[in-house]
Structure 1
């Protein structure tokens, strides 16, 4: 089969490497792809949001199945366009992708169907939002309604921070039209858990849970990033909590979307907070998370292509979805200075005998040399029979991957190790 994977980051590289294991795959194309994927897929250079070019390429190259991975093309309707010309897809259609495309929609859905989440208010007028903040409980959370490259959420620890976040969204338009509507919501506390799941609109099959590390600095300090590392499974996510989530969040969300005429097929991502009052939804994503995918898919034993086809054709209940009984740690190597100013163009050295998987995000090929081209350059993922073993191996092997001005956190997984002791 000829497969097209839309996207060009570490998440897509992880998906491609997993799909390559399927004996039915003959060729994988990536749109746009990146320099580090070239060994695993043919990189087309077509932009992920260029739906006309993607559709034309898929028709001209006899694509049998497409995987639309990033949020933007999903929200724009890439799946609808490809399916309209007879190409089956993994990913939700435009009507279902609104679950991530609009924070207002997702919050209102949870309220309507009694899915546990933070209390919230919606505003489309800046003066009213600022007036509300005068008496709102602090800390609070300010969210741009639409997609904002993962940067549209501000956890405001002071009233001034909250006001600044509202002005940034609604007056300065730092997120464009995504900030025209905003959500101001209750600040929740507790361990965070990411749970990716496969769903065909009939059943929900959760993948291995994970713990992401969003902030740039050790000890979870500094500004938020796209993710500096991940471990899986998440020790806080016990079997008992998993059952509560299935009964009160996962299945109710799938049924709510069905009731709204927006049946969701693909990967439904649940960002959860385990509060004193039970698990609550922080956010939904309509696709695989990044870098969570880089620890979850290496643990998958079953055939990813078969599972993806089952989500598209509604046969997920009869399809095996099995994960290894191991642990994984992904260490993100970034350019020094990220997420602010940083330099690129430095050669990357990846040893051939590396005892870990490398998923490339921000790199390009120049005259056969792989060079840095982004903030988050690559992820190094190692497996182990224990969490500590996976973490130690990720750091050991990660140190062998080199480029000038490389930066990584030194404490990925430390919180999870503490959690293992807490839940014993």
Structure 2
């Protein structure tokens, strides 16, 4: 079996590892990949989607796995081009990927199908945003487009709102796009992942990530500074409620709307006093949640994804560990406002499991930083405390100048446990 994973970050590093460890021992390729990923996967000679499709045809690739969301909505769309070429793709077509690419599209979908979510309105100007906020704080502001997990702000006062509006709607940090002004929901957050194959699905291990840069959930929003995953993260009763009120209606809604879907679907949820509600959809695995979840997925992931991409539902190919997994992210100096590259990384040879996100090999063959989020140290255990201790112990072994890290990953929000 030949598999191509599309992407280059920590999520793709974890996916390449998990797919490569499948019992069928697939030959794994990655595009564009990274120095770290290409130690586990073979490189691809392509310079864009069109040439990538041609390469897959010539190489007789059996399965394309979409990692990064941008490829699903760029140009004609990765999955759309794969379908035209007759290549099974684990990832939705462009029209379905609008669930992530457009917050307004997703909100309309949720409301149309009666799926619990916060109230929201879409605005196109700063003045319209101010009118929609109307002094009601806290409020959630969401850029209507892809923003690498950074286009959302929970604003507790006018100053925070004005700063975000200036950045997003005046300076256009994320490009052109509307803005959603949304009700601020309260409660614990949880990320639920489903592998969707047409009108059927299987729910993977739930996770919880930590978006803020600083300990105690302080500081600016980031792409994620760590995550914890376990089947025990939420009770079976709550998970059943999530499935009945959110997952199943979403899958049914996709079919009703004529939106084909074969791939991972991420549900960002808030467990409010009124029950679980959807914050957002992602049309791929989360990052860094993927790094925490993948060690808990057993069986034959490669064969499951290949069957799913062909429309065959084979949940018996998977099994899920009942323990806990924690990943701790180390970010570069300046992140998230900027990132510094070229800092030498020490201690990687002492770490059992680490997923590379922003690293590179320099001319001397030494690992150095090359991006905002640099690495994720990952470890597991049969209980949360042991997984947390192991993951932080692994992270302690890694050093580089200017490293930023949270030491409350897997601890904060569990004080009551």
| Separation in structure 2 between the aligned mates of residue 404 and residue 67 of structure 1, nearest angstrom | 34
| Separation in structure 2 between the aligned mates of residue 75 and residue 86 of structure 1, nearest angstrom | 19
| Separation in structure 1 between the aligned mates of residue 299 and residue 217 of structure 2, nearest angstrom | 34
Task: Give, in angstroms, the shift of residue 350 of structure 1.
Answer: 4.3
1:294 partnered with 2:294: no
Task: Give, in angstroms, the shift of residue 352 of structure 1.
Answer: 4.2
| Separation in structure 2 between the aligned mates of residue 387 and residue 236 of structure 1, nearest angstrom | 9
| Separation in structure 1 between the aligned mates of residue 132 and residue 414 of structure 2, nearest angstrom | 40
TM-score, with length taken from structure 1: 0.93
Partner of 1:70: 68
Distance 1:167 1:339, change over 3 A: closer
Partner of 2:4: 4
- Asked if the contact 2:8/2:34 (under 8 Å) is kept, the reply is yes
Greater alpha carbon shift after TM alignment, 156-165 vs 324-333: 156-165
String of CA shifts for 1:294-323, please: whole Å, max 9, x gaps. 011110112111221232122225533311
Partner of 1:197: 194
1:306 partnered with 2:303: yes
Task: Give, in angstroms, the shift of residue 150 of structure 1.
Answer: 1.5
Partner of 1:217: 214
Cα RMSD over matched residues? 1.8
Count, aligned residues: 414
- Asked if the contact 1:211/1:416 (under 8 Å) is kept, the reply is no
Partner of 2:91: 91
Any idea what SS the aligned residue of 2:318 has? Answer: coil
- Asked if the contact 2:139/2:184 (under 8 Å) is kept, the reply is yes
- Structure 1 residues without counterparts, runs of 5 or longer: none
| Separation in structure 2 between the aligned mates of residue 138 and residue 201 of structure 1, nearest angstrom | 40
Partner of 1:156: 155
- Asked if the contact 1:387/1:417 (under 8 Å) is kept, the reply is no
Task: Give, in angstroms, the shift of residue 10 of structure 1.
Answer: 0.4
- Structure 2 residues without counterparts, runs of 5 or longer: none
1:34 partnered with 2:34: yes
Any idea what SS the aligned residue of 2:354 has? Answer: strand
Distance 1:45 1:350, change over 3 A: farther
Partner of 2:51: 53
- Asked if the contact 1:35/1:370 (under 8 Å) is kept, the reply is no
Distance 1:318 1:415, change over 3 A: closer
- Asked if the contact 1:335/1:374 (under 8 Å) is kept, the reply is yes
Partner of 2:168: 169
Q: How does 1:340-379 map to 2 (within 5 A)?
A: 340-352=337-349, 354=351, 356-367=352-363, 368-379=365-376
String of CA shifts for 1:196-252, please: whole Å, max 9, x gaps. 111102222111111101111111110011111111127552111101111100010
Distance 1:318 1:152, change over 3 A: closer
Task: Give, in angstroms, the shift of residue 93 of structure 1.
Answer: 0.9
| Separation in structure 2 between the aligned mates of residue 140 and residue 303 of structure 1, nearest angstrom | 43
Any idea what SS the aligned residue of 2:39 has? Answer: coil
Partner of 1:232: 229
TM-score, with length taken from structure 2: 0.94
| Separation in structure 1 between the aligned mates of residue 225 and residue 167 of structure 2, nearest angstrom | 25
| Separation in structure 1 between the aligned mates of residue 303 and residue 174 of structure 2, nearest angstrom | 38
Partner of 1:112: 112
